Amino acid sequence: MSGKKNLNNYSAQKIIGRKIILRVLEKDDLKRTLAWLKDPSVNMYLSQNFCDYTEDQELKWFKFIQSSNNDIVFAIEDINTNLHIGNCALHKINWEKGACELGIVIGEKGYWNKGYGSDATINVIKFAMSELNLKSIKLNVYKYNRRAIKVYKKCGFKLIQTQKKNHLYNGKYWDTLIMEFKKT
C-alpha cells in the first residue's frame, strides 16, 4: 500500500527540471490551456475532442481538479522565461494500488522537439514515485504519435497492450498503445 497524501500540500510546490519548472495549474492558466486543446494540430493527439469545449466546462473541470485528491495538474513553464508552455498531469491516482495515469501537452508548438516534454515527463515521474510514493504510471498514446512514443520510451515507459484499430483519425483506424512506467 502506498499511503494516501493530501494533494493540497503541493499547491505552492515548484519542481525544478533542467529546462522546465512544474507548478500547480492556476485559474489564470485556463484560457491559454483551452486554446491549446482546441488547436486541431494539438487535439489530434489527445484522447478527447475539445472542439466544442467551452470556458464554462473548463472552469468546472478546474474546480473538480482542485477538489480532487486523485488528480494533480501541473503547468509546465520554460525555466528561462517562466512562460507557460504546456500542462502535465497525474490522473486517477489510486492510493491503494499506488497507480495513476499520465497526461501531457506542450501547447506552444514552437517548443516541440526541444526536450521540454521529456524533461517534464522525467520530473513528473520522479514526483509520482518519490513524493507520492506511487509504483506505476500508465498512459494511452495513438500509434501515429511517434514523437510522444519516443519520449515515453526514453523516460522508461514500456508497451503493455495494443488496442487494435480503435481510434478513427483522418479517415483511418489507428491502434492505441497502453504504456506503463513501473518503479523498480
Q: Which residues contribute to the site for ligand COA (CB under 6 A)?
A: 42, 45, 86, 104-106, 112-118, 141, 145-148, 150-151
Q: What is the CA radius of gyration of the chain?
A: 16
The CB-of-8 to ligand COA minimum distance in angstroms stands at: 27
The CB-of-147 to ligand COA minimum distance in angstroms stands at: 4
Residue nearest to ligand COA (CB): 117
Separation CA 108–CA 80 (nearest Å): 15
Nearest to ligand COA of 30, 178 (CB atom): 178
The CB-of-67 to ligand COA minimum distance in angstroms stands at: 25
Residue 131 per-residue DSSP state: I
The CB-of-104 to ligand COA minimum distance in angstroms stands at: 5
Residue 40 neighbours by CB under 8 Å, 6+ apart: none
Nearest to ligand COA of 2, 79 (CB atom): 79
Residue 19 neighbours by CB under 8 Å, 6+ apart: 78, 79, 114, 115, 116, 119
